């Protein structure tokens, strides 16, 4: 029973942080891209 508890463990905080980091990087990249498009 101890092994099944370990297999069900999901680090929700780490997954949420990873998704938030990806969204933040996407926003930064898109903002930089838009600045370069408008500047040109």
For 6-38, how does the pLDDT look when each residue is reduced to its tens digit (9 = 90+)?
578 889 999 999 999 999 999 999 999 999 999
What pLDDT shows up at residue 36? 95
What pLDDT shows up at residue 37? 95
pTM for this model (two decimals): 0.65
**DSSP annotation of 24:** H
Cα 36 from Cα 40, distance rounded (Å)? 6
CA atoms within 13 A on the CB side of 34: 6
What pLDDT shows up at residue 16? 97
Q: CB neighbours of 16 closer than 8 A, spacing ≥ 6?
A: none
Task: List b or e across 7-39, with b for residues whose CB sees 16 or more CB atoms inside 10 angstroms.
Answer: eeeeeeeeeeeeeeeeeeeeeeeeeeeeeeeee
What pLDDT shows up at residue 11? 92
């Amino acid at each position: 029973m101890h092994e099944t508890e370990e297999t069900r463990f999901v680090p929700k905080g780490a997954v949420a942080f990873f998704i938030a980091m990806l969204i933040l990087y996407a926003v930064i990249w898109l903002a930089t891209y838009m600045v370069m498009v408008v500047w040109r």
